[in-house]
């Protein structure tokens, strides 16, 4: 080595053209891209998990000898997956706008629209999942001597179609509660998976707007 590192450094940077700052045109371009890509990846993984669950439930319910309930859960999950794919397509056709801020804003809007649509659908599907689960539990019990034992032990209990009336009432109330609270359950569910990244999206948009104002 001819020169010391100090000399290399000093002489190297004399008249060094590479020290010209890179142009900053769209400061958040790359950042927005990373964020949207991350969210799209998360949606994709979620979709794959739903499809896997649909298959798994069918297998598990088959072994529980409750194939119809399993088929119902699978169909519901596959419908959810199909609906998510439709929503993803609408995100793909989003207007990229003039800047990354426009794009992020329309991305955020489309996600919020999708979530509110999901909320409407899940108002019915959550109670349905619950009823299917109840039905599975009951059909599993019914195969055993539980019903006859209950008949003997509580002869005063009213049965409707081999199900005690109080069980119908509990299931009915729980279903109504699920129907009523479905939006909150869904928001909690979504927050659990996407909460952090949604907050990040909102923070980025807020920061970009502030940046725009100077």
Minimum CB separation of residue 203 from other proteins in Å reads: 11
The one segment of 14-22, 57-65, 125-133, 182-190 that binds other proteins by CB under 8 A: 14-22
Minimum CB separation of residue 5 from other proteins in Å reads: 6
19/160 with CB nearer other proteins: 19
12/97 with CB nearer other proteins: 12
2/153 with CB nearer other proteins: 2
CA torsion angle for 67, 68, 72, 77 (degrees, to 10)?
10
Angle at 125 between CA 141 and CA 77, to 5 degrees: 85
Q: Tell whether residue 3 is a contact of other proteins (CB under 8 A).
A: yes
Minimum CB separation of residue 176 from other proteins in Å reads: 45
Angle at 91 between CA 84 and CA 44, to 5 degrees: 45
Q: Tell whether residue 211 is a contact of other proteins (CB under 8 A).
A: yes
Q: Tell whether residue 44 is a contact of other proteins (CB under 8 A).
A: no
Sign of CA pseudo-dihedral 150, 155, 159, 162: positive
Alpha-carbon 50 to chain mean position: 10
Q: Tell whether residue 158 is a contact of other proteins (CB under 8 A).
A: no
**CA 120 to each of CA 90, 92, 160, 180, 184: distance values in angstroms, whole numbers, following the listed order:** 18, 23, 32, 11, 12
d(CA 6, CA 153): 94
Minimum CB separation of residue 9 from other proteins in Å reads: 4
Residues 70-109 that bind other proteins (CB under 8 A): none
Minimum CB separation of residue 147 from other proteins in Å reads: 54
The one segment of 15-23, 58-66, 103-111, 135-143 that binds other proteins by CB under 8 A: 15-23
Residues 6+ apart with CB under 8 A from 28: 100, 101, 104, 204, 208, 211
Q: Tell whether residue 27 is a contact of other proteins (CB under 8 A).
A: yes
d(CA 58, CA 76): 11
Let me know: does 43 contact 84? Beta carbons within 8 Å. Answer: yes
- What is the binding site for other proteins (CB under 8 A)? 1, 3, 5-6, 8-9, 11-13, 16-22, 24, 27, 30-31, 207, 211, 214
């Amino acid at each position: 080595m001819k020169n010391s590192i100090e000399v290399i450094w000093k002489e190297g940077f004399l008249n060094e053209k590479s020290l010209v700052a890179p142009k900053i045109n769209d400061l958040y371009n790359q950042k927005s891209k990373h964020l949207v890509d991350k969210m799209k990846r998360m949606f994709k993984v979620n979709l794959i998990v739903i499809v896997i669950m649909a298959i798994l439930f069918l297998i598990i319910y088959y072994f529980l000898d409750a194939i119809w309930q399993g088929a119902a859960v699978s169909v519901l999950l596959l419908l959810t997956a199909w609906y998510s794919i439709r929503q993803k397509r609408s995100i793909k056709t989003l207007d990229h706008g003039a800047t990354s801020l426009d794009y992020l804003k329309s991305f955020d809007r489309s996600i919020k629209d999708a979530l509110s649509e999901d909320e409407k659908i899940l108002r019915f599907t959550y109670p349905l999942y619950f009823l299917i689960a109840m039905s599975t539990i009951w059909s599993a019990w019914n195969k055993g001597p539980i019903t006859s034992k209950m008949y003997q032990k509580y002869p005063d209990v009213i049965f409707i179609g081999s199900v005690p009336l109080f069980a119908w009432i509990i299931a009915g109330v729980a279903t109504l509660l699920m129907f009523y609270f479905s939006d909150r359950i869904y928001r909690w569910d979504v927050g659990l998976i996407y909460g952090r990244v949604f907050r990040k999206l909102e923070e980025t948009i807020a920061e970009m707007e502030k940046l725009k104002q100077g």
